[in-house]
Amino acid sequence: MNNLINILQYQFVERAIIAGLFLGIVCAVMGVFLVLRKMSLIGDGLAHISFGAIAIGIVFGFYPLVTAIPLVIIASLIIYALTRKHIIEGDAIIGILASLGLAMGVILSSISTGFNVDIFSYLFGNILSITQPDLLFVIIGSIIILSIIILFYQEFMAISFNPEQAQISGIPVTILDILFSIITALTVLMSIKLAGALLVSALIILPASSSLQIAKSFQNTVLLAIVFALVSILIGIIISFVFNIPTGATIVTVNAIIFFAILIIKLLKAKELSYRNM
């Protein structure tokens, strides 16, 4: 217990925990909607695009996260427009843009000063290195995203389950889908410092997937996803600090352990129930 209190005395750990709590809530809520919409892969694609956009900001000496905002939002809207008009399959355009973003990031980093520490932290994630401007960006972004979700909660839920019925009911599906694409891009961009471009999609998908296995209602699914996300982030930060291992990878590993533990328990219960019914 004393060791835990000593860890919390470090300012950079405090910043990491505060940022992690905000990101955990946002990622969990957005993850539920994305999984239900069968858009889980978009997180991975936008994360790779974010890496390239962030590299542009670093190369030209700008604050990377702010520089990347318009580029990642544009990419998210391009994915939405092309898939909606059935010009190209969603997974194909996500894969193309993701590859391009990652390639741009590697090329730009090698042209400038080599694969420096800043670029490296955005690729693999290191929330313990989060700065005060990063924290402010995460807090403001999280408040904006959560406010939008609360404001259009019923509409987003209706579109996620049945977009055709939502359209018939008079819900402006296209406008809200565009808005959802924008806040998805912001969620991925904010989370990239936590888990890195290579792992951020897991941070969004795993808590939601764990929750969907056991929750009995949509609200319970969202609440459980938030709990799983926050627990994994707090445990991951502490373990990574104590054992000096990568934070993002540790958080994702804890998330995966929770997911597989729930899956195994669920399978065992189903097997036990089938024996009883024999």
| Amino acid 225: pLDDT | 94
Give the tokens for residue 266: 């669920």
| Amino acid 66: pLDDT | 77
Between helices 132-151 and 173-195, what is the axis angle to 10°?
150
| Amino acid 175: pLDDT | 92
As a whole number of angstroms, the distance between CA 55 and CA 74 comes to: 16
The per-residue pLDDT string of the chain (278 residues; one tens digit each, 9 = 90 and over) reads 555 556 667 777 788 888 889 999 999 999 999 988 888 778 878 888 888 888 888 777 777 777 788 888 998 888 888 877 766 766 777 778 778 887 887 787 777 654 455 666 777 777 777 888 888 988 999 999 999 999 999 999 999 888 888 889 889 999 999 999 999 999 988 888 777 777 788 888 999 999 999 988 888 999 999 999 999 988 988 888 788 888 888 888 999 999 999 999 888 887 777 666 66
Provide the residue ranges of all domains of the chain, joining segments of one domain with +.
Answer: 2-266
| Amino acid 1: pLDDT | 52
On whether the CB atoms of residues 154 and 123 are closer than 8 A, the answer is no
Give the rounded distance of the alpha carbon of 161 from its chain centre: 21
As a whole number of angstroms, the distance between CA 256 and CA 262 comes to: 10
With 0-12 CB in 10 A as exposed, 13-18 as middle and 19+ as buried, what is 150?
A: exposed
Give the tokens for residue 4: 């835990």
> Considering only CA atoms, which of 251, 145, 247, 241 is closest in space to residue 203?
251
Q: Is 2-266 in CATH node 1.10.3470.10?
A: yes
| Amino acid 113: pLDDT | 56
